[in-house]
Amino acid sequence: MQVHDPVAMTNVQKIYGDRLSYSREPYSALDGADALAIVTDWNEFRTPDFDKMRKRLQAPVIFDVEPVRSGSMRELGSNTLESVWDNDKPWH
CA separation for the pair 32, 59 (Å, rounded): 9
Tell me: the pLDDT tens digits for 16-69? Answer: 999 999 998 989 999 989 888 888 778 788 778 878 888 898 887 877 776 555
CA-based nearest residue to 39, from 69, 74, 80, 76: 69
Is the pLDDT at 15 greater than 50? The verdict is: yes
Give the model's pLDDT for residue 31.
92
Q: Is the pTM of this model over 0.75?
A: no
Give 92's pLDDT tier (boundaries 50, 70, 90).
Answer: very low
Could you tell me which residues come within 8 angstroms of residue 69 by beta carbon, excluding any fewer than 6 positions away? Answer: 38, 45, 46, 48, 83
Spell out where the chain has E strands: 2-3, 21-22, 36-38, 62-64
CA separation for the pair 51, 69 (Å, rounded): 15
